[in-house]
Amino acid sequence: MVIKVNRLSKSFEYYKKELGLRNSIRNLFYREKLIKEAVREISFEIEEGEMVGFLGPNGAGKTTTLKMLSGILHPTSGQAQVLGFTPWERKKAFKMQFAIVMGQKNQLWWDLPANESLYLNKCIYELDDRQYQETLGELTELLDVKDLLNVQVRRLSLGERMKMELIAALIHRPRLIFLDEPTIGLDILSQMKIREFFRYYNLEKKATVVLTSHYMQDIEGLCKRVIIINEGQLVYDGDLHRVNDAFAHTKLIKLQLAVPVRVDELEAFGRVKSHDAFTVTLEVPRAEVKERSKAILDHLPVSDFNIEDIPVEEGIAQLYRRREVNHALA
């Protein structure tokens, strides 16, 4: 077991601040304390070699959880074991075995060539020259940046910088990798290349990967399992593609019409999600798909017809709105 989390919680204290000089003076003598429960008693386990998507809306507690699991933050309560260590004890043997990559944080020196920062990491992680050169050569070839090692980081494109950040994080061959929005701001081609890299890296190195991302292409392309939290609570832990089976109670019927039909006529068969002259998407209850489909074919000028599940991202959006803990499909 690489990660074992039991009822982990994190709360932050802060103070209410009102506008105006009078309120500022009053705050010198009395301040109203507020508490933000960022993470609330979440529990889960992750096996070695798994790639797990860690999802939730902004402010759900994803980054706070990753910071606790990497030892950056100390929890308010609960326990966690990561690679056999308590992460917030920050033991050297623990720090030598994991990496954390945040898409909005840089670890490379801006005005130096990337190879200078990479060599610094080599020294920090006490790598011998042979191991360092082998790993550097392998990673730069996989990410196609070998010719950019001597270029100042500030002169690299966003995608190139992100690749160098990944190399810096993986230079010591960590067993566990936390990825927090690694493709944020990147173009589609760069996102695809980074996904392909991690798919290969996970397969070859058996590294465990925990990925947070708001790009569903990242999650669908890399992760079979997802853990979803909302308002600090765990709401789902299971197979990504069973999200809709578990929680989406509707299906989509997509129609191609031979002649246009008014919206008010279409509404008799289901909720109209989209509509133009000849193309219509209806949302209907899952239990009524058969009878609704027959009625549509009997009464509408249909030239083509297709039934689909709600897109994964819509199923996840429904889970975001759930507040109760649900382990039914864990």
The pLDDT assigned to 324 comes to 43
One domain, residues 91 and 185:
yes
One domain, residues 89 and 9:
yes
Which tokens in the block code for residue 247?
A: 């929680």
* Model confidence band, residue 308 (pLDDT cutoffs 50, 70, 90): confident
Q: Which helix (H) or strand (E) holds 235?
A: strand 233-239
Alpha-carbon distance of 296 to 265, in angstroms, equals 11
DSSP string, 201-247: HHHHH--EEEEE-S-HHHHHHH-SEEEEEETTEEEEEEEGGGHHHHH
Average pLDDT over residues 320-325: 54
Closest CA to 100 of 137, 65, 144: 65
Alpha-carbon distance of 261 to 164, in angstroms, equals 54
| Residue 144 lies inside a defined structural domain of this protein | no
The pLDDT assigned to 246 comes to 67
Alpha-carbon torsion (263, 266, 271, 277), positive or negative: negative
Closest CA to 316 of 231, 214, 223, 232: 214
DSSP string, 109-169: -TTSBHHHHHHHHHHHTT--HHHHHHHHHHHHHHHT-GGGTTSBGGGS-HHHHHHHHHHHH
pLDDT at residue 16 greater than cutoff 90: no
The pLDDT assigned to 58 comes to 81
One domain, residues 82 and 182:
yes
One domain, residues 216 and 199:
yes
One domain, residues 232 and 292:
no
One domain, residues 199 and 284:
no
pLDDT at residue 327 greater than cutoff 50: no
One domain, residues 20 and 72:
yes
Q: Of 48-52, 54-58, 166-170, 171-175, where does mean pLDDT reach its minimum?
A: 54-58
Which tokens in the block code for residue 138?
A: 């392998």
Residue 276 belongs to domain spanning: 250-309
Q: Regarding predicted confidence, which is higher, 326 or 292?
A: 292
pTM over 0.85: no
Task: Decide if 175 contacts 183 (C-beta within 8 A).
Answer: no
One domain, residues 234 and 257:
no
Which tokens in the block code for residue 118?
A: 């990479």
| Residue 31 lies inside a defined structural domain of this protein | yes
Beta strand 279-285 with 271-275 is antiparallel
Average pLDDT over residues 44-63: 90
| Residue 315 lies inside a defined structural domain of this protein | no
pLDDT at residue 79 greater than cutoff 90: yes
Alpha-carbon distance of 252 to 271, in angstroms, equals 9
Beta strand 225-230 with 233-239 is antiparallel
Amino acid at 221: G
| Residue 124 lies inside a defined structural domain of this protein | no
Alpha-carbon distance of 293 to 160, in angstroms, equals 50
pLDDT at residue 60 greater than cutoff 60: yes
Average pLDDT over residues 137-162: 90
pLDDT at residue 241 greater than cutoff 90: no
Q: Which residues contact 328 (CB under 8 A, 6 or more apart)?
A: 246
Domain with residue 264: its CATH number is 3.30.70
Which tokens in the block code for residue 173?
A: 């061959």
| Residue 318 lies inside a defined structural domain of this protein | no
Give the chain's mean pLDDT. 87
| Residue 229 lies inside a defined structural domain of this protein | yes
The pLDDT assigned to 322 comes to 57
Alpha-carbon distance of 9 to 35, in angstroms, equals 13
Q: Of 39-48, 56-65, 192-201, 244-253, where does mean pLDDT reach its minimum?
A: 244-253
CB atoms within 10 A of CB 190: 17
Number of domains in the chain: 2
One domain, residues 85 and 191:
yes
| Residue 138 lies inside a defined structural domain of this protein | no
The residue among 228, 244, 260 that closes a domain is 244
| Residue 235 lies inside a defined structural domain of this protein | yes
One domain, residues 234 and 261:
no
Domain with residue 54: its CATH number is 3.40.50.300
Task: Decide if 255 contacts 300 (C-beta within 8 A).
Answer: yes
One domain, residues 182 and 79:
yes
One domain, residues 7 and 88:
yes
Can you give 158-198 as a three-state secondary structure string? Answer: HHHHHHHHHHHHHCCCCCEEEEECCCCCCCHHHHHHHHHHH
Tens-place pLDDT, residues 243-297: 766 666 788 999 999 999 888 889 999 999 888 889 999 999 888 999 999 999 9
